[in-house]
Amino acid sequence: MAQRLDARETSFPQAFADLLAAKREISEDVDQAVRSIIDDVIARGDEALIDYTRRFDALELTAESLRVSDAEIDAAEAQCQRDTLDALALAKDRIEVYHRAQRPQDSMTTDSVGVTLGWRWTALESVGLYVPGGLASYPSSVLMNAVPAKVAGVPRVTMVVPTPRGETNPLVLAAARLAGVDEIFRVGGAQAVAALAYGTASIRPVAKITGPGNAYVAAAKRRVFGQVGIDMIAGPSEVLVLADSSANPDWIAADLLAQAEHDPVAQSILVTDDAGLADAVEKAVERQLQTLPKAEIAGASWRDYGAIILVERLEDAIPLVDRLAPEHLEIETDNAEELAAKVRNAGSIFLGSHTPEAIGDYVGGPNHVLPTARSARFSSGLGVLDFMKRTSILKCDAKALRALGPAAIALGRSEGLEGHARSVAIRLNL
């Protein structure tokens, strides 16, 4: 049973602060191991990749078989069910349309002083996409990472995915082809991250690495950051459902459990102004848990991190939402749009009772890679901008330099940077 908090009680501020502060990450200290794996891949390249894959994935590779062949992808596609492939194609199309609208505009103007200035966006030259092996190997995540990269115009998207004992998820390969991934290598772990960052004879280095992974992968990404770009390190997932008496308790319970089934440290929170709804949702959760295949995981998450918060009025929930900054916010109330407009911090908002978060996980169109663990206070979900960068452009003619030069000289001197001042003055014969 999840914990209950009541915003009308005097103990609430402390209880809410404790909820905010609860650490859900299990931090394994794998940094030393990761460091030596990375150094080894830098030193020995493919040979090190092959050794680690033998050791960690029980798989014997050669430089030739590191890469997944087109024939293997053909065969994988043939293994997939038609309706799943169709669903994947629908998802890909909707994700692509949504992300196309995110492509940024260049800007170039000449101002009244005669300065031409603006910026230009360009795609990254290459991106590495890490896809976990085994159970956490989600074809939907392949789409969510690769489609925005391709929409951005990245010419080379390289995917790595471990295949323990040679086992591959055929849907992952099908999703990669559908999304336009250019090359796939069957390696994983810190060694795959090192290969993407530094390159080997078989794997060319990339400019940025994205995608989720275990503690080794996360530590490796942190360590190669700077050599290459990385996306955010994903933490455990969370949902906050804001609901009033108009909501269906069975539907809300299903949404809370959909979140909870991801991970024992996932977090599902209901905030409501209706004590009756709170009770009904709690009962529905217990009932639905009895037939859920992942009841053990979902039950642990709900028991350890789940919460139901009662508020006097729905408006009172807004500052709580902003402090929690949930990855997913469902608003199932009569005035959902109105409440949503008042929220500052959320990774994504799902409006109304017919928008379960699972729609957004797969086929809605928006990205499902979203800021977790309160980081929606300062960051955004994955998007096209993560695969592009902006170069600023400035051009003065002689007249414009005469207009701006004296101010630059004054500021350079005020900062003790005479060389800066001289680089302007020399052009103005000052």
Query: Binding-site residues, please?
Result: 130, 191, 214, 237, 259, 262, 328, 361, 415, 420
Cross-strand partners of 329: 240, 349
The smaller minimum CB distance to its own copies, of residues 123 and 160, is found at 123
Q: Pick the catalytic residue: 99, 238, 282, 328?
A: 328
Provide the CB-side half-sphere exposure for 200 (13 A, CA).
Answer: 27
CB of 82 to its own copies, least distance (A): 10
Query: What x-and-dash track marks residues 106-145 binding its own copies by CB under 8 A?
Result: -x-x-x---xxxxx--x-xx---------x--xxx-----
By CB under 8 A, the residues from 53 to 82 that bind its own copies are 81
Residue closer to its own copies by CB (options 66, 382) is 382
Out of 2, 271, 277, 349, the only residue in the binding site for its own copies (CB under 8 A) is 349
The widest CA-to-CA distance across the chain, in whole angstroms, is 84
Q: Which is nearer to its own copies, 37 or 400 (CB)?
A: 400
Q: Which of residues 241-300 bind its own copies (CB under 8 A)?
A: 250-251, 254-255, 257-258, 260-262, 288, 292-294, 298
Q: What is the number of residues in the chain? A: 430
Is residue 96 near its own copies by the rule CB under 8 A?
A: no
Query: Residue 213 interacts with its own copies (CB under 8 A)?
Result: no
State yes or no: residue 391 binds its own copies (CB under 8 A).
Answer: yes
30 binds its own copies (CB under 8 A): no
Stretch of 2-10, 157-165, 189-197, 419-427 lying at the interface with its own copies (CB under 8 A): 419-427
Among 312, 315, 334, 418, binds its own copies (CB under 8 A): 418
Cβ proximity to its own copies, 310 vs 328, nearer residue: 328
Residue 148 to residue 366: CA distance in whole angstroms: 10
Residue 217 engages its own copies in binding (rule: CB under 8 A):
no
Q: Cα–Cα distances in Å, from 259 out to 86, 244, 337?
A: 25, 20, 23
Catalytic residue chosen out of the listed positions 282, 327, 330, 332: 327
Active site (annotated) includes residue 354? no
CB of 55 to its own copies, least distance (A): 27
Examine residue 371 and tell whether it contacts its own copies (CB under 8 A): yes
In the complex, minimum distance from the CB of residue 287 to its own copies, in angstroms, rounded to a whole number: 12
Helical (H) or strand (E) element with 130:
strand 126-130
Stretch that binds its own copies, among 6-14, 50-58, 305-313, 337-345 (CB under 8 A): 337-345
Binding of residue 378 to its own copies (CB under 8 A): yes
Query: Contact between 179 and its own copies (CB under 8 A)?
Result: no
Shortest distance, CB of residue 190 to its own copies, whole angstroms?
19
**Can you spell out the DSSP letters for 66-90?**
TBPPHHHHHHHHHHS-HHHHHHHHH
CB-based burial label for 380 (10 Å; 0-12, 13-18, 19+): middle
The yes or no reply on residue 412 touching its own copies (CB under 8 A) is yes
Binding residues for Zn(2+): 259, 262, 361, 420
- Are the C-beta atoms of 351 and 247 separated by less than 8 Å? no
Instruction: Show the tokens assigned to 390.
Output: 């902006």
For the chain, percent helix, then strand, then coil, each to nearest 5?
50, 15, 35
Cα–Cα distance measured from residue 359 to residue 355, given in angstroms and rounded to the nearest whole number: 7
197 contacts: CB under 8 Å, gap ≥ 6: 38, 128, 205, 206, 209, 224, 227, 228
Residues annotated in the binding site for substrate, as ranges?
Answer: 237, 259, 262, 328, 361, 415, 420
Q: What is the DSSP string of 1-55?
A: --EEEETTSTTHHHHHHHHHH---------HHHHHHHHHHHHHHTHHHHHHHHHH
Look at the block and give the residue holding tokens 């170039």.
108
> Is residue 168 a contact residue for its own copies (CB under 8 A)?
no
Report, in Å, the least distance between residue 191 CB and its own copies.
21
Distance of alpha carbon 66 from alpha carbon 62, whole angstroms = 6
Amino acid, res. 123: A
Q: Decide if 327 is catalytic.
A: yes
Give me the active site residues, please: 327-328
